[in-house]
Amino acid sequence: MTAEWQQGGSAAFVSAIDYPLYVVTASAGGEMSGCLAGFVTQASIDPVRFLVCVSKVNHTYGVARRSRGLGVHLLGSDQRAVASLFGEQSGDQIDKFQGMAWSTGATGSPILSECAAWIEGNVVDLIDGGDHEAFLITVTAGGAGTRPGRFMRTDATDFEAGHPQ
C-alpha cells in the first residue's frame, strides 16, 4: 500500500462514514478518568461483548489498563458540551467529573447520569491496535438514558483532541 493511498484513500474513506461517539470511563487505584471514543463496536452476542478502543496517548488509557472494567456511554445529540469536555480536555490537567452527575458502577467505573444509553463491563482481554488499544469487555450492566438521539463523529469535526495524536 502506498503512502499516498494511506493519506488520500483512508482520509476519503473516513470522511465518507459517520458513527456515534461515546464517553469511556474507568477507575483504578482511586483515580478516575474518561475520554471521548469513536472506535466502539459489539464483538459478540453470547456473551455480549464490546471492543472499546482507547488512544494510548490519553490519560484514560493508563487508568483503563489498571481498571477491572469500563463504562461506555452513548451520548445524546444534545450533549456537545459533554463530548467537548471528554474529547478536548485532558484528565492530566482537569477533573472531568467535577460538577457532573455520576455514580459508581459495579466495576468501579464512573457511570454518567446523563446520556442516551450506557453499558458497563469487565475487561477480559486487550488487543494492540496500533495507536489505540482495544479493550474487550463482557457487558455486566447497562441501561437507557434520558437524552435523545446520538452525538455523531460529524458533530465533532471541529474538536481539537486534548492530547495530540
Residues 16-41: tens digit of each pLDDT:
888 999 999 999 999 999 999 999 99
Distance CA 80, CA 149 (A): 12
pTM: 0.90
pLDDT at 162: 64
Q: Give the CATH number of the domain where residue 93 resides.
A: 2.30.110.10
The residue range of the domain holding 57 is: 16-152
Residues 60-82: tens digit of each pLDDT:
999 999 999 999 999 999 999 99
Separation in Å, CA 136 to CA 29, 58, 144, 146: 21, 18, 21, 26
Has residue 9 been placed in a domain?
Answer: no
Has residue 2 been placed in a domain?
Answer: no
pLDDT, the chain, mean: 90
pLDDT at 8: 62
Residue 7 has pLDDT above 80, yes or no: no
Residue 163 has pLDDT above 80, yes or no: no
Has residue 102 been placed in a domain?
Answer: yes
Tally the domains of the chain: 1
Has residue 8 been placed in a domain?
Answer: no
Has residue 164 been placed in a domain?
Answer: no
Has residue 36 been placed in a domain?
Answer: yes
Has residue 23 been placed in a domain?
Answer: yes
